[in-house]
Amino acid sequence: MSHDVEVLSRADTRAAIRVFGRAIGLPAADEARISGAEAAWEPGRSLGIRAAGELVATAWSFGCRAAVPGGVVQASGVSRVGVRADHTRRGMLTALMHAQLTDLVGRGDVLASLRASEAVLYGRFGYGLATRFRTVEVRRRGGRGLRVDAPTSGPVRFVEPEGAIELLAPLHEQIALRRPGGLTRFLDWWDRTLVAPARSGRHLLVLVHRGPHGDDGFGVASFGEGSDFTARPLVVSDLHATDAAALCDLWRFLLDVDLAGTVRAAQRPLDEPLDLLLNDPRDVTVSSVDDETWLRILDVPAALAARSWEPAEPVTIAVHDGLLPANDGTYRIADGAAERIGPVSETADLSCTVAGLAMAYLGDRRPSELLATGWWQGDPAAGRRADRAFATSVMPWCGTFF
């Protein structure tokens, strides 16, 4: 079944948020949320499909910058994807995704990034799972705290949530773009996470860390529910720092907040060294590891040229892209650079889909493990060369949910 995908106007924002909210089962958006989304509206980025004159399916994107190993590229975040339950399984998501890919390529974006409600949805559109996060819980009551010789570099102070955006937004941007997987945020994101909870009466603890060269880290936390008033979880919703010492000071502060039984943080990087910072490594429990970034490489030549490569023997990779054929080709990585050397070749050392490439691109998965699990094909020795070329010193991570 074919569908006419329409570019929605600012006036459609309310209806689009309603379609999305209903599809995903969120509480109805309040007026402030709708006016925030209207204020953040950009021409051409909100797409929809109508049936009998009513909006029944929608997808939205926002412009951002994305950190890749050794660089930053122009990208889009994709969100608010939903199809009304009485119109699902008729190809509406497919029509929206195809129209959106065309739009984002036309904008000159190198990457698109989304967070998926279900992990089985977006691979067919060329998205690959490219960063993951973990949820951690650190015992505070009865725990032994941070080691005295854990690093420190400066004080932590409180700021009021209402006035914090001007401080945190640029600070976040500066920090996020240092780590592969990081994305800049849209203004509405801050309104939703800082201003709206404060407006609804929730107490947020907003912390800023000052290091030797100025502010270099921040955290946002609030008390969660708990039957014991003196042992509720302190829930960390945002925590970013330039370096290990600033991060350590923020954790130290959080673990010192009175009346918390535990400090719980979702969406933390897989390589956050909490066990190394604590007197008792068993004070931290990892309760889950989940998918974070679903990455669509929109422009493979630009994406491969934008990232840095570790020294390795040359390796050639044939990349297949069923939806954006301009990406099809054989790419050679050698001497710290990657370039397209011709069409897809049977004789390339390795081959993968564009989604498979996304899984290795930021450093989350090694090519040899993708080879061993059938995501990539080719010669295991070439896989080991690719492992060396794709290697990154940190795990990729974003820490922004949208």
Ligand X SMILES: CC(C)(COP(=O)(O)OP(=O)(O)OC[C@H]1O[C@@H](n2cnc3c(N)ncnc32)[C@H](O)[C@@H]1OP(=O)(O)O)[C@@H](O)C(=O)NCCC(=O)NCCS
Among 15, 32, 116, 334, binds ligand X (CB under 6 A): 116
Which residues inside 124-183 make contact with ligand X, applying CB under 6 A?
Answer: 124
Q: Is 90 annotated among the ligand-binding residues?
A: yes
Q: Which of 133, 218, 331, 402 is catalytic?
A: 402
Give the pairing of strands 71-83 and 54-68. Answer: antiparallel
Q: Is 81 annotated among the ligand-binding residues?
A: yes
Among 88, 152, 174, 377, binds ligand X (CB under 6 A): 88
CB 58 within 8 A of CB 20: yes
Separation of alpha carbons 328 and 320, rounded Å:
5
Separation of alpha carbons 153 and 245, rounded Å:
6
Shortest Cβ distance from residue 33 to ligand X (Å)?
17
* 128/383 with CB nearer ligand X: 128
Shortest Cβ distance from residue 77 to ligand X (Å)?
12
Among 66, 68, 81, 263, binds ligand X (CB under 6 A): 81
Type of residue found at 103 = D
Among 47, 66, 73, 92, binds ligand X (CB under 6 A): 92
Shortest Cβ distance from residue 213 to ligand X (Å)?
39
Among 90, 107, 232, 340, binds ligand X (CB under 6 A): 90
Q: Is 91 annotated among the ligand-binding residues?
A: yes
Q: Which of 20, 122, 125, 331 is catalytic?
A: 122
Among 4, 118, 258, 346, binds ligand X (CB under 6 A): 118
91 scored as a contact of ligand X (CB under 6 A):
yes
Which window, 4-12, 65-73, 76-84, 339-347, contacts ligand X (CB under 6 A)?
76-84
* 33/90 with CB nearer ligand X: 90
Among 11, 27, 31, 120, binds ligand X (CB under 6 A): 120
What is the radius of gyration, based on Cα positions, of the chain? 22
* 114/370 with CB nearer ligand X: 114
Chain-centre distance for alpha carbon 386: 24
Shortest Cβ distance from residue 374 to ligand X (Å)?
19
388 scored as a contact of ligand X (CB under 6 A):
no
89 scored as a contact of ligand X (CB under 6 A):
yes
Q: Is 356 annotated among the ligand-binding residues?
A: no
Among 93, 176, 183, 298, binds ligand X (CB under 6 A): 93
Which residues inside 4-63 make contact with ligand X, applying CB under 6 A?
Answer: 23-24
Q: Is 71 annotated among the ligand-binding residues?
A: no
* 86/149 with CB nearer ligand X: 86
Indicate if 331 belongs to the active site.
no
SS (H, E, C) the chain: CCCCCEECCHHHHHHHHHHHHHHHCCCCCCHHHHHHHHHCCCCCCEEEEEECCEEEEEEEEEEEEEEECCEEEEEEEEEEEEECHHHCCCCHHHHHHHHHHHHHHHCCCCEEEECCCCCCCCHHHCEEEEEEEEEEEEECCCCCCECCCCCCCCCEEEECHHHCHHHHHHHHHHHHCCCCCCECCCHHHHHHHHHHHHHCCCCCEEEEEEECCEEEEEEEEEECCCCCHHHEEEEEEEEEECCHHHHHHHHHHHHCCCCEEEEEEEEECCCCCHHHHECCHHHEEEEEEEEEEEEEECCHHHHHHHCCCCCCCCEEEEEECCCCHHHCEEEEEECCEEEEEECCCCCCCEEEEHHHHHHHHCCCCCHHHHHHCCCEEECHHHHHHHHHHHCCCCCCCCCCCC
Shortest Cβ distance from residue 265 to ligand X (Å)?
23
Q: Is 92 annotated among the ligand-binding residues?
A: yes
Indicate if 218 belongs to the active site.
no
Q: Which residues are catalytic?
A: 122, 402
Q: Which residues bind ligand X (CB under 6 A)?
A: 23-24, 81-83, 88-94, 116-118, 120-121, 124
Positions at the binding site: 81-83, 89-94, 117-118
Binding-site residue numbers for acetyl-CoA are: 81-83, 89-94, 117-118
